[in-house]
Chain A
Amino acid sequence: MTFQTHTGNRGLVLEEKLIFEQGEAGRSGVDLPDPAPVKSRLGGLARDENSEIGLPGLSEPQVVRHFTRLSQKNFGIDSGFFPLGSCTMKHNPRLNEKVARLPGIADLHPMQPESTVQGALELMDQCAHWLLVLTGMPAVAMSPASGAQGELCGMMAIRAALDARGENRRRVLVPESAHGTNPATAAACGFTVDSIPATADGRVDLAAFEAKLGDDVAGIMLTNPNTCGLFERDVRKIADLVHAAGGYFYCDGANFNAIVGRVRPADLGVDAMHINLHKTFSTPHGGGGPGSGPVVFSEALAPFAPIPYVVKTENGFHLVETADEQDGKKPFGRLKGFHGQMGMFVRALSYMKSHGADGLRQASGDAVLNANYLLARLKTKLSVAYPGYCMHEALFDDDFLKGTGVSTLDLAKAIIDEGFHPMTMYFPLVVHGALLIEPTETETKESIDQFCDAVLSLVAKAEAGDSEFFKNAPYLTPRRRLDETAAARKPVLRWSPANA
């Protein structure tokens, strides 16, 4: 039954104005003491008392209600099944949130004397140790802020190593299925990007790759398992070939969650690999960050790792913060203020300790099992992109929608109405109308079954010719399809009294 309510609210779906539209001068959500009068030492730069900054005044209950209502317009892992491929939306344990807030962790200042932060340095060292054992690699840089910055870290180390060799190699080979950050990162390090085509089974075309090698090749950026959710079965040959040609092997470790505890990147010939702690080790995605992207290095690249880094000495743990410390290393520089995403190291270590070596192995196995189960169930109706087993995610193209008038996007929007977060759409770019589905290991068989049943019923509906239904989905969400073209054509990026 549809009818208009007086308020615009619809039961639990509550409309919420911007804070700027509900504030009142003189209101505040904090009680602060009046400062004692002192002689200003602002050097004549005090702001004009009468000019407004433009911040609205709200009481604490107003603020709590505002953000609670906003939260209710969001879908998270806690809300339901979230099979967003290549993003690894697995359960975020609350224990990790709790330990990150412990006194002695949350209240540490990054510039405290070393003598007062031995536990923090030990924690970073422990987190690093787990990453090194799990990857089999000899060194790790903990400071990168995210996966994308981890890529930057790895590629800068390659640049530094080439410079140290006195070689002017500038071409980087990147498979066309790669995530957009790969070419963007290579470009940011002054490399040119040369695309490698894929074979019909979704892997690097080895012959094409070999043909592109030469003495101007700095290396390859290869995601493994790749963005099609497949293990690159020629990975060792690729590593050997690039090494023989004098280049390095950067592995995008975004999909390490599929193999953690079962395959060590060191055994595949990797020189550098970033690890998204927010994927494999379940630090929260938080609506788009903060992430954390430590990078493991081979012996060849280890000396070039950035500052800062932790070393163990006879007097305890020491944080090396300057490139000039005489320890034989040649850091390429510094990527971040202070020491990295400590709050994420705490959560990741808590997650790793909780799972242990046995549990991590079980987690990757269950992730792959869940994905293959979903693949087996859906391939009865959906068109698989590539034959064979998948790793942690299943990839379909839009061939099964041909002639229905329904697109991948339309299907995804209808899935929203069924109460799921949709799969990743239109990525990787090499697959037409791609649907990339990653169930993760923390989902039950029942939730995967329910999702598959819902998708299969929607496909049947599409085949029955009801494309109008799909074009207008979703119907049941706080907002329906949004006009992205209008948003980009005339950008409104902030509230102002003029456009109120």
Chain B
Amino acid sequence: MRYLPLTQADRASMLETIGAGSVDDLYCDVPEGALLKEPVDLPHHLGEMQVERDMAKLAAKNMGTASAPSFLGAGAYRHHVPATVDYIIQRGEFLTAYTPYQPEIAQGTLQYLFEFQTQVASITNMDVANASMWDGATSCAEAVLMACRATRRKKAVLSGGLHPHYREVTETYCQYSDTQVAGRDGHPEHQATADELDDLIDDQTACVVVQYPDVFGRLDDHTKLAEACHAKGALLVVVFTEAVAFGAIKSPGSFGADIVCGEGQSIGNALGYGGPYVGLFATTSKLVRQMPGRLCGETVDQDGKRGFVLTLSTREQHIRREKATSNICTNSGLCSLAFTVHMSLLGEDGYRKLAAINHERAVKTADALEGVAGVEVVNDSFFNEFTVKLSKPAAEVVEALVARGIMGGVPLSRLYPNRDDLGAFMLVAATETNTDEDIAALAAALKEVLA
């Protein structure tokens, strides 16, 4: 087996040094009958060529977004990832390193985490950010738990514009910690405003969670909501699923948000059928010690040179055990590196321009679809994703578009399987990867399907 270097001669001589007769002898503590004498019922080892062939066969059964015009969003977005990103993250010193517990030989990881934290804090316009979470949905759940700790309250109000997966994960995390989750169902034709959530906020409310842009693609100024929260001693959590947006829209920090968290996949990370992704998590200096997850901080070494270490670990499970702020152990290291490299390539100008192009592509797509009979663009405002109302059930339309070689959007029935009132709606996202031809093809195919 190509990964296993020991020879039979090695094994024999090592057993002799140990003073054991066989490898089985080393398993002497395994209870009677539980030690298998033969390999389990699975195929035996394969060479690299055969494995690659097997895996390629599975891949070939799928229709990838690179092979068809694709307008899918709903929390995961197809963006161009520069070749440099994948080259850097495959360098063995990054790929095969561990969590930087020995900072003298992990300054590479630690410095990029410090840069990552700075980038995330900058685009959200918050004071500080952590070294990443598992994904956007778990970041949202952890934000609610953090708000409960910080306010010593046990109620969270979730906006109807929050992605259903984020809501479900938050509810799952809260259900066994006596935390009440309140909120209203969302609808693409009824915008959740500060006024609508206002009456749910009381002096037991730890936080209000809104998504910006929301799951239907709409934009709303949450300054008043932040004020309403703060008036009741609650925190405002602003969640996002599209990290490119802040190159074009007002930052959540400018609303007065206390926690800003969401999905960082859009920058540097492949779609990869939903994971691994990278959760971004930012907050104010005041709340930093309540933050979950790993944090990297600046310090000096014994020669006085600047260096970086993991810090504030007294919040964490390996020190605090059952009193920790979270059970989180790892972060999304390599995905945060991909984010950092891509963001470094973009820079101020590139990031803003990328956002501008995304908006332009989405406006062009919306304009094209508005000209198709049976399609109504619902949104008044959007960044790179919007909701359309169709004259036929959206799930069937999506299948009919696939038959024409186009992935046209995400039917809301996929995200809300129990909501009969949303069957006609479809989410459409456009990014810099969508060409004029893609947009024309989508409009033409929709015209056929809805005729």
A28, B273: Cβ atoms closer than 8 Å: no
A332: chain B residues within 8 A (beta carbon): 172, 175
Name the 5 nearest CB pairs between A and B, nearest first: A43-B381, A119-B61, A338-B274, A78-B92, A333-B172
From residue 37 to 91 of chain A, which have CB atoms closer than 8 A to chain B?
Answer: 38-48, 52-58, 60, 63-64, 66-68, 70-79, 82, 84, 87, 89-91
Task: Kindly specify which of A147-155, A206-214, A455-463 makes contact with the partner chain.
Answer: A147-155
A55: chain B residues within 8 A (beta carbon): 119, 122-123, 343, 346-348, 351
B41: chain A residues within 8 A (beta carbon): 133, 357
A369, B23: Cβ atoms closer than 8 Å: yes
Task: Count residues on chain B whose CB falls below 8 Å from chain A CBs.
Answer: 212
From residue 378 to 395 of chain B, which have CB atoms closer than 8 A to chain A?
Answer: 379-383
Please pick, from A97, A338, A354, A366, the residue contacting B45 in the complex, using a CB distance under 8 A: A354
Task: Kindly specify which of B5-13, B196-204, B227-235 makes contact with the partner chain.
Answer: B5-13
A103 at the interface (CB under 8 A from B): yes
Cα distance A479–B305 in the bound complex, in angstroms: 7
Q: A99-B55, A104-B61, A105-B62 are in contact. Are A110 and B251 (CB under 8 A)?
A: no
A474: chain B residues within 8 A (beta carbon): 104-105
From residue 61 to 94 of chain B, which have CB atoms closer than 8 A to chain A?
Answer: 61-67, 70, 72, 74-76, 78, 82, 84, 86-94
Query: Shortest Cβ distance from A286 into chain B, in angstroms?
Result: 3
From residue 432 to 467 of chain A, which have CB atoms closer than 8 A to chain B?
Answer: 441-445
A188 at the interface (CB under 8 A from B): yes
Please pick, from A145, A306, A376, the residue contacting B276 in the complex, using a CB distance under 8 A: A145
A324, B418: Cβ atoms closer than 8 Å: yes
Cα distance A477–B176 in the bound complex, in angstroms: 46
1/0 contact string of B291-314 vs chain A (CB within 8 Å): 000111111111101011101111
B357 at the interface (CB under 8 A from A): yes
Query: Shortest Cβ distance from A295 into chain B, in angstroms?
Result: 14
Please pick, from A79, A354, A365, A372, the residue contacting B93 in the complex, using a CB distance under 8 A: A79
Please pick, from B107, B129, B273, B398, the residue contacting A339 in the complex, using a CB distance under 8 A: B273
Query: Shortest Cβ distance from B147 into chain A, in angstroms?
Result: 15
- Contact size range, A: 35 or more
B3, A442: Cβ atoms closer than 8 Å: yes
B19, A289: Cβ atoms closer than 8 Å: no
A104, B219: Cβ atoms closer than 8 Å: no
A103, B311: Cβ atoms closer than 8 Å: no
Please pick, from B27, B48, B87, the residue contacting A231 in the complex, using a CB distance under 8 A: B27
A430 at the interface (CB under 8 A from B): no
Cα distance A474–B65 in the bound complex, in angstroms: 49
Query: Shortest Cβ distance from B131 into chain A, in angstroms?
Result: 7
Q: A82-B98, A107-B270, A285-B97 are in contact. Are A95 and B65 (CB under 8 A)?
A: no
B96, A29: Cβ atoms closer than 8 Å: no
B276, A341: Cβ atoms closer than 8 Å: yes
B451 at the interface (CB under 8 A from A): no
Task: Kindly specify which of B150-158, B323-331, B441-449 makes contact with the partner chain.
Answer: B323-331
B108, B221, B345 pick with most chain A CB within 10 angstroms: B108
Q: A29-B345, A71-B91 are in contact. Are A421 and B105 (CB under 8 A)?
A: yes
1/0 contact string of B29-51 vs chain A (CB within 8 Å): 11101111001111111101001
A243: chain B residues within 8 A (beta carbon): none
B28, A389: Cβ atoms closer than 8 Å: yes
From residue 342 to 370 of chain A, which have CB atoms closer than 8 A to chain B?
Answer: 342-344, 346, 349-350, 352-363, 365-366, 368-370
1/0 contact string of A106-147 vs chain B (CB within 8 Å): 111111110111111011001000100110000000000111
Please pick, from A47, A110, A116, the residue contacting B250 in the complex, using a CB distance under 8 A: A47
B288: chain A residues within 8 A (beta carbon): 491, 493
A357, B55: Cβ atoms closer than 8 Å: no
A32, B347: Cβ atoms closer than 8 Å: no
B414, A41: Cβ atoms closer than 8 Å: no
B6, A361: Cβ atoms closer than 8 Å: no
B104, A41: Cβ atoms closer than 8 Å: no
Cα distance A230–B27 in the bound complex, in angstroms: 10
B180 at the interface (CB under 8 A from A): no
Q: A55-B346, A82-B98, A119-B62 are in contact. Are A488 and B381 (CB under 8 A)?
A: no
Query: Shortest Cβ distance from B83 into chain A, in angstroms?
Result: 9
Query: Shortest Cβ distance from A366 into chain B, in angstroms?
Result: 5
Question: Quick one: closest A residue to B7, CB to CB?
Answer: A445
B258 at the interface (CB under 8 A from A): no
A106, B324: Cβ atoms closer than 8 Å: no
A484 at the interface (CB under 8 A from B): yes
A25 at the interface (CB under 8 A from B): yes
B309, A484: Cβ atoms closer than 8 Å: yes
